[in-house]
Amino acid sequence: MAVIVLTSASGSPGVTSTALGLTLSWPRPAVLVEADPTGGSGTLAGFFHGNVAHTGGLMDLALAHREDALSESLPTAMMPIPESTALLLPGVRSHQQARSLAILWSPLAEALVALERNGQDVIVDAGRLGLEGAPGPLLNKADLVLLTSRSTLPALSGARSWAQTLREDFDRVGSLPRLGIVLVGAGQPYSARDVRNVLGLPVMATLPWDPDAAAVFSVGARRPRKFDRGALVRALRSAAAALQAVVDRNRADLATATSVGRPA
Ligand SMILES: Nc1ncnc2c1ncn2[C@@H]1O[C@H](COP(=O)(O)OP(=O)(O)O)[C@@H](O)[C@H]1O
Ligand SMILES: [Mg+2]
């Protein structure tokens, strides 16, 4: 069980599509949290074609938090994603609303960790790094923070300084094992190994360049033939397994370190 945050440095590498794709390909029921401070709910507008009312979500939780009722309100703020076992916690409608979430991120991070302890995996779309209203506390509390990048030179050039900043921040608090890359379009042109060398972070999952399949997640396009057995969905399933393995390994390492540090 895990809380996994996806974020990006520049451009639009596919955070929203990948976060939704991972949530729907996850081997257990998972919750997708739209924490992108840009607002506009990419999933409701894209995957759902704007056909589903924007109810509940983070603004309701911000109000509930003011009344000290965050945990009780969390289940009702989430909506089911049809034809799946997944849930969606819709984000804000606008970037102005995101400012009022500043007080929510810390308690929400605690509430999501509690969900995770109860067997519910959580995938967070944190949008782009450095925006006003960004969900910093979710990054601090997550089991994994994944910088999403394409493998082109402009993408890597844009991601490089953010990768360094994240690396320094996580290293300072002994959290480097919680930080990695999701590579979208591996080999187009740079390989996972090139990307690891340039960004100085491990590539924890790779996804193929597959615009038709990705459009199912990003704009609710009609599913191409053999979508469920296609390259993107298969890679998303492998990514889910690989990410869970990293979380399990990190926890095992932490448990060993804690027991070694404990007096006999
Ligand atoms: N694996 C992929 N292969 C091809 N295109 C992709 C892939 N992932 C995402 N895309 C496309 O990239 C564009 C941006 O995706 P989106 O998820 O909205 O990015 P972000 O959230 O980073 O802004 C969309 O057109 C989407 O369909
Ligand atoms: Mg997005």
Determine the average pLDDT of the residues in 229-245. Answer: 97
Query: In angstroms, what is the span from residue 13 Cα to ligand 1's centroid?
Result: 6
Give me the pLDDT at residue 93, please.
Answer: 86
Q: Is the separation of the CB atoms in 181 and 147 below 8 Å?
A: yes
Give the ligand 1 atom nearest the CA of 217: 27
Q: Are 129 and 136 in contact (CB under 8 A)?
A: no
The rounded mean pLDDT for the chain is 93
- The residue whose C-alpha atom lies closest to atom 7 belonging to ligand 1 is 214
Q: Ligand 1: which residues within 6 Å by Cβ? A: 8, 12-17, 42, 184-185, 207, 209-211, 214-215, 218, 232
Pull the structure tokens for residue 153.
Answer: 């030179």
Pocket test for ligand 1, best of 8, 17, 34, 206 (most atoms within 8 A of CB): 17
Give the residue with greater pLDDT, 46 vs 104.
Answer: 104
In whole angstroms, give the CA distance from residue 207 to residue 55. Answer: 32
Nearest ligand atom owner, CA of 46 = 1
Q: Give the mean model confidence (pLDDT) for residues 117-126.
A: 92
Residue predicted with more confidence, 67 or 100: 67
pLDDT in tens, 132-187: 999 999 999 999 999 999 999 999 999 999 999 999 999 999 999 999 999 999 99
State how many domains the chain has.
Answer: 1
- Residue 110 reports pLDDT greater than 70: yes
Give the mean pLDDT of 233-241: 98
SS3 172: helix
Distance 230 CA to ligand 1 centre (A): 16
User: Counting ligands in written order, which one lies closest to the CA of residue 148?
Assistant: 1
Query: What is this structure's pTM?
Result: 0.96
How does pLDDT run across 185-236, given as a tens digit for each residue?
Answer: 999 999 999 999 999 999 999 999 999 999 999 999 999 999 999 999 999 9
CB neighbours of 104 closer than 8 A, spacing ≥ 6?
A: 58, 61, 62, 65, 70
- Candidate of 129, 218, 227 to mutate for ligand 1, largest count of ligand atoms within 8 Å of Cβ: 218
Ligand 2 centroid to residue 8 C-alpha, Å? 9
pLDDT for 264: 61
- Phi and psi, residue 28, nearest 5°: -130, 170
The CATH number linked to 60 is 3.40.50.300
What pLDDT, on the 0 to 100 scale, is given for residue 30?
Answer: 96
Residue 50 has pLDDT above 90, yes or no: no
Per DSSP bridges, beta strands 3-8 and 144-150 are parallel
Contact at 8 Å (CB) between 124 and 3? Answer: yes
Rounded Cα distance, 94 and 195, in Å? 33
Ligand 2 mean position, distance from CA 18 (Å): 9
pLDDT at 246 over 90: yes
Full residue range of the structural domain in which residue 223 is found: 3-261
Atom 19 in ligand 1: which residue has the minimum CA distance?
14
Confidence of residue 129 (pLDDT cuts 50, 70, 90): very high
pLDDT in tens, 51-94: 888 778 999 999 999 999 999 999 999 999 988 999 999 998 88
